Amino acid sequence: MAREFARVGVVGLGTMGAGIVEVFAKGGIEVVAVEVTEAAAAHGKEQIESSTARAVSRGKLAEDDRAALLKRVTVTTDMAQLGDVALVVEAVPERLELKSEVFAALDKVCAADTIFASNTSSLSITELSVRTQRPSKVVGMHFFNPAPVQPLVELVRTVVTEPDVVDDVRALAERLGKSPVVCGDRAGFIANQLLFTYLNQAVGMFESHYAGREDLDAAMKFGCGYPMGPLALMDLIGLDTAYEILEEMYRQSRNQRHAPAPILKQMITAGLLGRKTGRGFYTYAEPGSSQVVADALTPPPPGSDDATLRPISRVGVVGTGTMATGIAEVFAKAGYDVVVRGRSESKGEGAVAAVRKSLEKAVVKGKLTEEARDETLGRISTTVDFSGLAECDIVVEAIAEDLEVKQAAFSALDEVCKPGTILATTTSSLPVVECAAATSRPADVIGMHFFNPAAVMKLVEIVSPITTAPDVTATVRDLCAKIKKAPVLCGDRAGFIVNALLFPYLNDSVAMLDAHYATVDDIDSAMKNGCGLPMGPFALLDVVGLDVSLAIERSLYQEFRVPGFAPTPLLEHLVTAGRLGRKTGHGFRDYR
């Protein structure tokens, strides 16, 4: 039987502490909330009252329930009132010595079987536990902000934490309507360890001028469905807070990927801490505002810069697979004449049929008229010879992800296409410059990485090797905007933006599992419920395919030679065993 927690304590009534008090009280538990001064106690009580009043105004809490909730809360400056509680959650500022002092004081007033929990987001629970007289009854209980809303609670066990303590606290979290996950004692635990490693890498991309802030953020929002881009999220969290978390992660792990990007220290020194100061990676209307305003780094809209744009009216597509037909549909719907080159007439007819099927679905759903469908299909023609693409203004290659095959296609296009035609590749991992090298016009070659399904996904990564002419990049960026896509600019290196940020994070997740740090379900839950991601890493890996993921991770490691990018042995073993994900019915999970 799980232990009954009828009365608990919370020490510290800042934003997190006040939120935790509200969670417990809403769950029907009496709460003794302790602050160091009367002023701090009054401010904390006011936060709880204000938060619950907002919940009533939004229809999420009845007035009678609010009154009952507030009645369960006792706010005091006398720590001795915690003498009869079953659990105490410490929620004071992130300083090891301060938290240790709190636990030492609690040791003197609490019963021997009282469980001590810390809400720390990065400090070692083990280091905190050994400062007490009861290390076996100390756990991490990391709520996420705002605590009354966010479902995730990370429960952190040390090597000496009693299993019953973890089980009891987990049952309590579930009783409170939370989604608890259990993990070992590492800096950052699950969510922050995975999240901040990814955020730090994105900051490094920005610092090295590989991609602009808007492009980095748009890439992860539109390419992965993330609720916020990495740099906007850093501004929301606060650069000083992010720096402290990364520093603690690096102190414990000595992993170079956890070492804060140097630009963070510079920005913090300059007072650019994010939204709370009005400036961070972006500039805001005022301190605390979420409204971004233009500044010196804001890029001009597509087509509005000084570059001369090449005229585009006729588009060629090489390939008849899923990606090629999706791209053909996108251009034809936008009003462009499209020529699809297939290896045979039947392949070409199949491509047109695939477009017709997609358009029919849109008609059935009321998203497209029958007239628009017919007009779109009327703009698509097919050819079996590359010469049929001779008069195209841009040709987009969308064939197999094999460098030799792509180079042969670019060599053939180079021979038949008119001067000035832009030649684009949809590769997601191969070097664009290698395709350019197969032609006599490398300045006209560019990467145009659509995401699958191309007719739906808004993102297009525009990849410009060092050989690409500026007017080609400007033309393709403007073209993407005209076909209602979200273009992002980046250089020609493995993974571009999205894969270079996404797959190291996925690899880190597998490494966590391989180290028996946390379970598949707990890691997925942590990233969905704690970070608002559309899917957990293992669910996503099973969808992408473990073999595809392994190939991308190998290419990233080959390019950057970063130890943390090397595919984990567990991933390699699963692929060898034929557990490739949903497509084989078995991956990190089993599917029917």
Residues designated as active site: 121, 142, 154, 192
What is the DSSP pairing of strand 459-464 with strand 445-450?
antiparallel
**Residue 173 main-chain phi, psi, to 5 deg:** -60, -40
Alpha-carbon distance of 343 to 320, in angstroms, equals: 8
Determine the distance from the C-alpha atom of residue 150 to the mean position of all C-alpha atoms in its chain, rounded to a whole number.
Answer: 17
Work out whether the CA dihedral 350, 353, 359, 361 comes out positive or negative.
Answer: negative
DSSP β-bridge partners for residue 394: 315, 422
For residue 349, what are its two tokens? 């007819």
SS3 content of the chain, % helix, strand, coil (to 5): 50, 15, 35
Alpha-carbon distance of 90 to 100, in angstroms, equals: 10
Longest dimension (CA), the chain: 87
542 contacts: CB under 8 Å, gap ≥ 6? 581, 582, 587, 588, 589, 591
Q: Which of 574, 491, 565, 497 is nearest to 538 (CA)?
A: 574
Alpha-carbon distance of 548 to 528, in angstroms, equals: 23
CB 126 within 8 A of CB 139: no
What is the DSSP pairing of strand 422-425 with strand 394-397?
parallel
Angle at 291 between CA 285 and CA 296, to 5 degrees: 65
Alpha-carbon distance of 329 to 316, in angstroms, equals: 12
Q: Which of 488, 500, 588 is nearest to 544 (CA)?
A: 588
Alpha-carbon distance of 555 to 567, in angstroms, equals: 10
